[in-house]
A and B are shown apart, each in its own frame.
Chain A
Amino acid sequence: MASVTYDHVVKRYTADVTVVKDFLVGPSGCGKSTALRMLAGLEAITEGQIRIGDRVVNNVAAKDRDIAMVFQSYALYPHMSVYDNMAFPLQMAHMPKTEIDKRVKNASRILGLDNFLKRKPRALSGGQRQRVALGRAIVRSPKVFLLDEPLSNLDAKLRGQTRIELQKLHRDLETTFIYVTHDQVEAMTMGDRIAIMNAGILQQVGTPGDIYDHPANLFVAGFIGSPTMNFVPVTTSDSTAKASGFDVKLPKSVPAGKATLGFRPETLTDRIGDQHNAIDMSVDVVERLGSDQFLYGQVGSDSVTARVDPKMKVEPGDKVRLGLDTRSLHLFDAETELAQF
């Protein structure tokens, strides 16, 4: 698999925006697409280097970068048949007709498009169009696939299905995929590595597990995970953190001062053991999802979310005693928002 490197890449518009790598995820407008388009060669970069493998591609034309891109809108050529759409990049490369035919047939077999080769894109469903767009990328057997929110135009059911197909495709093709999405579920389920961006700046790169368990800063902690992590302002002194409604012993000592304590809903449960800190919560809202039960309420003056056993009987207005697992706490600096652990 080819490696892709964004080496201190800067893209300047009017304001400074620094950009980025494997799976880009971040809220809308944070620069993910720009990062991808710079890699594709559709946008110039202001500073730094972009490398595909060992090759610096800053000044290489889009068509010579050995990449293929799947657009959010699919960008199929509406006047061409499915076959011609997939053959187009190969024709542009002046490939012999027999080779083109072989490659297109192969791609259409992989994607299950065999019966649609003569159709125009307008006679296809959303999911089929999406597969044609993938096919157009596959036929070129590029070093890197760029996918810009490829699932965002599909309905929820098809999205789940396509997600699985894409993962299979990724495994079969053994090629680097760079996949831009604002959907953390897609990122968590499909990414080998995730790069999280916010306001044009790379926040963290790591495996999904890494990012979930060790978020680098407050933004990442809040972005990944659903329901989101609880954030409670605390005052620290040595290895104790004091919140408005409870005290908690921290795993290591920190400088005294103000900080933000973070803990995921699943660490605040109805199990109270040795490693748990008892917390009293007044419940405002109860959400039963069958497999889970989420409680939204107040601890002291802070709003928190807890994930408890679905069999536990709780009604809004109740006061419940819950246990906070002190092994998975996060503490963020109040100023820099960086994780201290």
Chain B
Amino acid sequence: MSVATAGRLESTAAAWSLPWLAQRLQRSLLHIAVIGLTLVWIIPTLGLLISSFRPSTQILTTGWWTAVSPPLQFTLQNYQDMLSQSNMGTAIFNSFMVSIPSTVIPVTIAAFAAYAFAWMKFPFRDWIFLAFVGLLAVPLQLTFVPVLSFFVAHGIVPDNLTSLGLPPWIGLWLAHAGYGLPFSTYLLANFFRQLPSDLFESAEIDGAGTLTVFFRIVLPLSVPALASLIIFQFLWVWNDLLVALIYVGGSVEVAPLTVNLANLTNSLGQGYQLLTAAAFFSMVIPLAVFLSLQRYFVRGILAGSVKG
């Protein structure tokens, strides 16, 4: 595998020669383009961040870019108001209570399922896989009525669950797990299939059972795929408003951050300054998740396993 050594165009041309200049120029253009794109993406975020620290009077009268020149007027008031006023604490807690299980459940199930689809032999395997992946094409909205009526009929609704002493979000977890599974399984099965078959055979001869192979070989080698999947699923659940509203409703005790955020703007821009703080806050969590997992996106994790 040459993945580890590929990349990086090292110039062998002599300094200031024509090919050297051409290569330099090419690389500078690339850098300029990358930096430019990054700026385009980052400016709105920066605007939001700055706005969230500005007094509400300023936010409403001038643009955020005026704040970076003196006189500097920054305040934590927005964050204080946001956290105290509008049940933000509960909402943040709820968001975690929704997002973490709604990520862990589908990714776990998908990993087991994908291993079976990729490496175990059973009748109709490919057809079942096809049917499973075909669910990717089913629009989410189509499922609301049947799933919700099923939940209601079987008491999987927040009020009932709370009275039973269970977390009110179980229905939402199941729904998110269901929505996430087809894609997760598809992505992981494709990744697992790429693992060299010699590894599995070697492990078989070494005496490892199916579960041992899964936990000791497949999972450690699939960290990049699992990390990206966790990020996808977490972001989707964290930013989701519609599914949460449908299955748990908008009541303060159970509603996640997104529902709360939507409520802040209800009265025609009145809570604009609170919205900036709340919006930035709601971005920080997914960003932290991404940054903490991004180091696993190292390429060439398989390098050195097979071939010389």
Can you name 12 extra interface pairs (CB under 8 A) apart from A41-B204, A77-B199, A79-B217?
A62-B205, A63-B207, A71-B198, A71-B201, A73-B306, A73-B307, A77-B203, A77-B217, A92-B206, A92-B208, A120-B304, A129-B308
Residues of chain B with a CB closer than 8 A to A92's CB: 206-208, 212
Give the contacting residue for A78; candidates B201, B204, B212, B301; CB below 8 A.
B301
Residue of A nearest to B223 (CB): A79
Residues of chain A with a CB closer than 8 A to B304's CB: 76, 78, 120-124, 129
- In the assembled complex, the Cα of A136 lies from the Cα of B206 at a distance in Å of 9
Which of B203, B212, B221 gathers the greatest number of chain A CB atoms within 10 Å?
Answer: B203
Size category of the binding interface on chain A: 20 to 34
23 chain-A/chain-B pairs, Cβ below 8 angstroms:
A40-B205, A42-B204, A42-B205, A63-B205, A63-B208, A74-B306, A74-B307, A75-B306, A77-B199, A77-B202, A77-B203, A77-B217, A78-B302, A79-B301, A88-B203, A88-B208, A121-B304, A122-B305, A125-B308, A126-B308, A136-B202, A136-B206, A153-B307
* B281-305 Cβ-contact flags toward A at 8 Å (1 or 0): 0000000000000000000111111
Interface size on B (CB < 8 Å)?
A: 26
- Report yes or no: B220 in contact with A79, Cβ–Cβ below 8 A: yes
* B185-205 Cβ-contact flags toward A at 8 Å (1 or 0): 000000000001011011111
Residue of A nearest to B206 (CB): A89
CB distance from A145 to the nearest CB of B (A): 12
Known: A73-B196, A126-B308. A63 touches B301 (CB 8 A): no
- In the assembled complex, the Cα of A125 lies from the Cα of B304 at a distance in Å of 9
- Report yes or no: A88 in contact with B307, Cβ–Cβ below 8 A: no
- In the assembled complex, the Cα of A71 lies from the Cα of B216 at a distance in Å of 20
Give the contacting residue for B305; candidates A63, A76, A89, A125; CB below 8 A.
A76
* A113-143 Cβ-contact flags toward B at 8 Å (1 or 0): 0000000111111100110000010000000
CB distance from B3 to the nearest CB of A (A): 10
* A58-76 Cβ-contact flags toward B at 8 Å (1 or 0): 0000110001110111111
B109 within 8 A of A: no
A164 within 8 A of B: no
Give the contacting residue for B205; candidates A41, A78, A123; CB below 8 A.
A41
CB distance from B279 to the nearest CB of A (A): 40
- Report yes or no: B308 in contact with A153, Cβ–Cβ below 8 A: yes
B76 within 8 A of A: no
**Contacting residues of chain B (156-175) with chain A, CB-CB under 8 angstroms:** none
Residues of chain B with a CB closer than 8 A to A121's CB: 304-305
B21 within 8 A of A: no
CB distance from B132 to the nearest CB of A (A): 28
A173 within 8 A of B: no
A154 within 8 A of B: yes
CB distance from A100 to the nearest CB of B (A): 13
B4 within 8 A of A: yes
Known: A42-B201, A79-B220. A63 touches B206 (CB 8 A): yes
